[in-house]
A and B are shown apart, each in its own frame.
Chain A
């Protein structure tokens, strides 16, 4: 079975600082990896996904993530935080069965951005 672990339930950064949200995965087969963002009182929105093409994946809102097989990691980064980035971020893993797939989510990391 596949799983993801997000290190740090809360991360606080200053506006303009680097954002680094950590995600490690466990999967017995090559995984598909995702980062989602959830703003207060809203559903989830896909930031980016890794599907075995390029290991450095660029997403929306200036976010990117790098797939590192040797470290079983898929950390999310953004060079310069903005106040609007304050939200909860979820890492997720999926393994396709061929005709369907399901996402297994991490426990989430709440990002706070301070002035």
Chain B
């Protein structure tokens, strides 16, 4: 158990819908990262927040958005869902903002299925 929690574990929804994925980082971690893992695209970095501020952006679609709240939990919002958005979404957390200095701890993921 990494200490990072993600809810829900599974989510099934229809095309065009909107969903919110939630991540609670390890106690004391200020940085939260979101990743998407799919058969087509592999494992891709989406976005990073550090202490409430966006710090780095990856291949995140405009239909997707995220935020980190004052209590440091984070939410990833996916809207106008398409079949291709079906994937495993991981959250990771670390104490600091750089992966070279601070190990990332991954949550178990949320499996999203769009039908």
Contact = CB atoms under 8 A, between A and B. Distances in A.
Interface of A: 32, 34, 41-46, 49, 51, 90, 94, 96-97, 99-108
27 contacts: A32-B99, A32-B100, A42-B108, A43-B90, A43-B92, A45-B2, A45-B106, A46-B103, A49-B100, A49-B103, A51-B100, A51-B101, A94-B99, A96-B98, A99-B55, A100-B48, A100-B50, A100-B55, A100-B97, A101-B97, A102-B48, A102-B56, A102-B58, A102-B99, A103-B99, A105-B43, A108-B42
Contacts of B44: 105
A34 B42 contact: no
B104 interface: yes
A24 B53 CA distance: 33
Nearest to B104: A46
Chain B contact patch, size range? 20 to 34
Contacts of B42: 105-108
Contacts of A32: 99-100
Contacts of B55: 99-100
A49 B106 CA distance: 16
Contact of B97 (A41, A99, A107): A99
A82 to B, nearest CB: 22
A30 to B, nearest CB: 10
